[in-house]
Amino acid sequence: MLLEDLEKKRRRILQAMDYSVPEKNRDAAEDLLDIYREDRIALAVLHEFYSYLPEAREDWIKEIRLLNRHHGIFLLAACTSQNRYLYLVSNEGLEFQGCMADGFLSNELLDFFGYESAGAFSAICAAPESLMIYEPLQTDTDICPACHSVSGECHELGCPVELCPWCGGQLIHCDCRYEQLGLDTISTEEELLDFERLLEQRGRIPYSPEQRPSFAEDGPYIMFDE
């Protein structure tokens, strides 16, 4: 998401606030928006909440807390003046997961985030104050600024920050993908999957804070050629 896209997103959130936030809480709601003004993940939650109020009545988000994150996918709690709501968010989109008080998450997501059982997750939901406040990604060097992988995790394929295990350059810009495949271009999904297999065999370089650029291109990208 480019800077102008972030600005458009913020404007849409402010417009949605006109119909969803009590007047007495408007300043506080805008203060939270300002904290996350350049954070795509939090902006997605704010936009979704204010555009589609879960309880169909005026409310506002006081804080956002982090339940879990894995491979660039975040499980967040939007804590409002009346309730707490769960959202699954990534670069690919957002899914509403219901009310935190219900303590429910699908078995697939329980496994994905490494919860031992539904009961273990329910216990976490019962103590929301113990959860960390979600910090803007720009301030957390342990998270890739493009694909949101954490230190030690592999990047999403096509992330502009990922380093090439053959030459050490940026994987999306070097020619190693063509050389390894013996092709001039990558134009099909099958060729992309073949390259991913070669990457895994070679050994992908996981994210570390040293890779973090002063500012990152938006990502991830699919490496098809025009």
Between the CA of residue 76 and those of 188, 201, 223, what are the distances in Å? 35, 34, 30
Q: What distance in Å separates the CA atoms of residue 207 and residue 141, rounded to the nearest whole number?
A: 10
By three-state DSSP, how is residue 128 classified?
helix
List, for residues 8-52, the tens digit of each pLDDT value: 999 999 999 999 999 999 999 999 999 999 899 999 999 999 999
CA atoms within 13 A on the CB side of 77: 27
| Chain position carrying tokens 């894995």 | 70
What pTM value is reported for the model?
0.74
Q: What distance in Å separates the CA atoms of residue 148 and residue 225, rounded to the nearest whole number?
A: 24
List, for residues 185-222, the tens digit of each pLDDT value: 999 999 999 999 999 999 999 999 998 875 444 444 43
CB 130 within 8 A of CB 81: no
DSSP string covering 62-122, please?
A: EEEEEEEEETTEEEEEEEESS-EEEEEEETTEEEEEEEGGG----HHHHHHHT-S-HHHHH
Q: Which pLDDT band, with edges at 50, 70 and 90, does 4 fall under?
A: low
Q: What distance in Å separates the CA atoms of residue 90 and residue 104, rounded to the nearest whole number?
A: 20
- Residue 220 is predicted with a pLDDT of 42
Query: Distance from first CA to last CA of the chain, Å, rounded?
Result: 21
List, for residues 119-151, the tens digit of each pLDDT value: 999 999 999 999 999 998 777 788 888 888 888
List, for residues 54-70, the tens digit of each pLDDT value: 998 999 999 999 999 98
> Is the per-residue pLDDT at 225 higher than 60?
no
